[in-house]
Amino acid sequence: MALPLIRRAATALAVVAALSVVCFALLDAAPGDPAASVLEARNGGRPPAAADVARLRADMGLDEPLPVRYARWVSAAVRGDLGTSYLTGRPVTETLAATAPWTALLTAAATLLSAAGAVAVGLVAALTRRAWLRRAIDGLSFVLGGLPGFVAALLLLYVFTAATGLLPSGGVGRPGEPVTPYRLLTHLVLPATALAFGHHFGIYVRLVASGVGRLRDAPHVDNARARGLPRRVVTTRHLMRPGLVPFTARLGVSVGTLLTGAYTTEVVFSWPGMGRQAIDAARGQDYPVLVAVVLVTGLVVVAANLAAELVVAALDPRTRAPGRPSMPTDPHPTPGETAHAR
């Protein structure tokens, strides 16, 4: 167990290093003078004096050679300093701290919904003897595969807000009103649903259905049934526990999918999260905020992938055996499916 673990951790570190290079490159290549932008934001929009800009440039180390700038940026980022917003003049970390919890809430709710829905629908598809039902689920998951997240969000917004007025259109409540759990829930339902049942949902259903479906007539399941175990026990212990391993592995990747999807969902529903912040920053050319969100998203994704691998290793003894290839997460990998999941 130790050696594969070290290898996985090393891969994760390499990904983090690549991520830091990408983020720094974006920041460094962004148009405009960072020092001038920061000073302008702090002065409330007045163009700063040339001498001040020059002083801050020296302070920020902007005139140093590229490797030095990169090293400075990394060491500052590690200490929690991600720069200053060009729009507000405040530290980027403050913005992140204000928005990240909302994104975490939305993503967590969507992950729960998505996983519960996929397991339920996938189990039905795998265990039913009705061909039409299976085909209907298959068709539905295929159509969902062509549904961009923001289109799903717009459709839900129309049906539940514009046409029927059942649910609020966005945000997390009226300004000035206290955020009660009930009010929060009513505001959370639509974005979480839109995020949960986007184009990745069909892939999850397929993973559950194929993972469990292959075991439906497996010897150990027949044996369990023959021993007279209750159906519920056979389903949960003998079908779901081994059959859901590929799906569990995929759930780690899904965190990245959902975090990415949260960008558009948050924009459509005016959800005050990181994603909307990033898009606002992109539109307002507030590059430090944008890059910080990219960095945080990337770090969370890397952590989630690593965690999923560890969970799978705990669930599936075969992946722990030394020298043997780890179990494929998807028995029928289709290139486009992985492409879309990203």
Which residues from 19-78 bind other proteins, rule CB under 8 A?
19, 22, 26, 29-31
- How far is the C-alpha of 213 from the C-alpha of 220, rounded, in Å? 14
Q: Count of CB atoms within 10 A of residue 340's CB?
A: 16
The answer to whether 301 touches 219, Cβ cutoff 8 Å, is no
Largest CA distance in the chain: 85
109, 301, 308, 313: which one binds other proteins (CB under 8 A): 301
Q: Which stretch binds other proteins (CB under 8 A): 38-46, 94-102, 233-241, 330-338?
A: 330-338
Residues contacting other proteins: total by CB under 8 A? 71
Residue 24 CB, nearest distance to other proteins (Å)? Answer: 12
139 binds other proteins (CB under 8 A): yes
310 binds other proteins (CB under 8 A): no
- Binding mask 205-224 vs other proteins (x if CB under 8 A, - otherwise)? -x--xx--xx----------
- How far is the C-alpha of 86 from the C-alpha of 105, rounded, in Å? 27
**Roughly how many angstroms between the first and final C-alpha of the chain, as a whole number?**
29
Structure token pair of residue 138: 């298959």
Residue 157 CB, nearest distance to other proteins (Å)? Answer: 6
**Cα torsion at 318, 320, 325, 331 (round to 10°)?**
50
Nearer to other proteins, 192 or 207 (CB): 207
- How far is the C-alpha of 33 from the C-alpha of 56, rounded, in Å? 11
Residue 273 CB, nearest distance to other proteins (Å)? Answer: 13
Q: Which stretch binds other proteins (CB under 8 A): 35-43, 52-60, 148-156, 219-227?
A: 148-156
